Structures are given as C-alpha cells and as structure tokens.
Structure 1
Amino acid sequence: MKDITKTYSNGEVTIVWKPEVCKHSEVCFRGLPEVFDPHAKPWINATGSNTERIIQQVNKCPSGALTYFMNNEVLANGSSPEITASSLAEIVPNGPRLIYGSIHTKDTSGHETQEYKVTAFCRCGSSSNMPYCDGTHIKTGFTDNE
C-alpha cells in the first residue's frame, strides 16, 4: 500500500494526516468541525481555529492518523521532525486503550494487520470496528465507572 501523508498548516502548526492509519472514529470533526469537515475539499482547514484548539483536537485522535508539529520545529534541511511514539499502553479516561509503538493485531477471524505509532483499542465493547475504537463510547456515554 502506498504511504500517503498530507499536511495542512496555519503558519504556526502543521497538521499531518495519514489516511491509511485512520480508523474513521469521527472524533476529529465531531470536536472541531470548523477545522475538520469531511464534506469539504480539502477536509482539513488549518486556519479554521487557533493553534491551541487544533493541537487539543489532534491529540484526541484515537488512531494516530492525525498528528502535528510546530512549524518552528522544522529541521535545518527543511524536513519535518520525525513523529515517533515510545512503547507505552495508556488508558484514556472514559475512552479507548491506546498502545504506542509498532504492533501486530489479529482479529477474531484471524486477519492480521500491522499497526504503527498509536493504536486505539475499544474498551466499551460497542465499536463496529472491533477490536479498534471507532468513537462509539462517546455516543453510548461509556465511563470508567461501568
């Protein structure tokens, strides 16, 4: 599969989108529709909000398909900094379990996939894209108290 990476900048921050990593949880445009609009072309409008709100929303992306870098961090040779993740498992309060790093995943039918950077696994049990989080926990009101 061809590695497609798209970037969108407001001059201060650059949003990086890797469509092949996206799990279509819709968290991005449900939280900041003035920047992330799936009906617009292009679907990301980096000037639609301020940098702080963009960073907050990008950090909520459960799959890691959306990342960012600050434009003042561009390397001397003009390239973007490498976006890396350490090996780490993290529980998002009232949300998915995030696994940072490169992992192989096998679903119940035996289909294997290689995941990179951040993988979001469902904790609420209601995802239509098991074992991955698709954002259904937001609709169902899942909380850690259940």
Structure 2
Amino acid sequence: MNHSSPTKQEKVAKYESFLSERLQPDLIKVLTKRDQVYEETLKLTAHIELIQTQNKEDAPMRAMVNVGCDFFMQAEVEDTDNIFVNVGLDCHVRFTLEEALGFIDRKEKQLTKRAEVLTEEALKIKSHIKLVLAAIQEVLET
C-alpha cells in the first residue's frame, strides 16, 4: 500500500476547514451567550427605572406587553408598586420595586461571574484560532 503524505494544500484546507466550521462558530456562540447575559441584567434594571419614573407622574403606566409568541398588545397598569420577576427556570416572583432592585444586585453578581466564564472561554477559542493560523502559516512556509 502506498501511503503518501498530505500535500501542503490538503493540510491548509484541513486547517481552514477546522477554523471555519468549528472554531469561528464556537466563538460566535460564546460571544452571543455572553452578550445575552449582559443584556438580561440591563433590561430588567431599565424596566424598573422606567416604572419608578412613571410612578412619580401619578398616572397609570402604559406599556406594550408580550401576551405570548411575541404578540404584543397595549396595556394600562394602574398599580406599579409590585412587579413579577423571572428568577430562573420560568419561575416568576412578585417583588416590590425595592426588592426587585435588591434581587437584581445579587443576580447581577451571578451574571457577571457567568459572563467572565464565557469571556475566558472566548479567549481560549481565540488562542486556538491563533494556533491554527500559525500552523497554516508554518505549512505554507515549508
């Protein structure tokens, strides 16, 4: 049997395939997850701040409410002293605005840790990408 070693072009194609089919999509997934973690905290804080601003106006608050499957309808909220917050696993808890802000502070610390883990994972993937690019460069130089 004649086993010939792969050509430069075959080696480069193999590395490029690994880069484009595995590493780059993995990096995009990790960065997307990290962005979602940051966005989750910012959204809830912004909503509470909006409610507090509306409370000062002493008028019912008007909002667009998701009634399911991303269908929205306009609603008027007369009592904004309490809100329901998704605390995880689709479990919603009724909080006062102050309690919700306290929960957000604790949740934010947890989400920051999660974001840091995802950032570390992204850095590892980026270093793998650099290694693959260096390997491609080495193959091309030989």
Which TM-score band applies after superposition, normalised by the shorter structure? under 0.3
Q: Which structure has the larger Rg over C-alpha atoms? A: 2
Which is helix-richer, 1 or 2?
Answer: 2
TM-score by length of 1: 0.21
TM-score by length of 2: 0.22
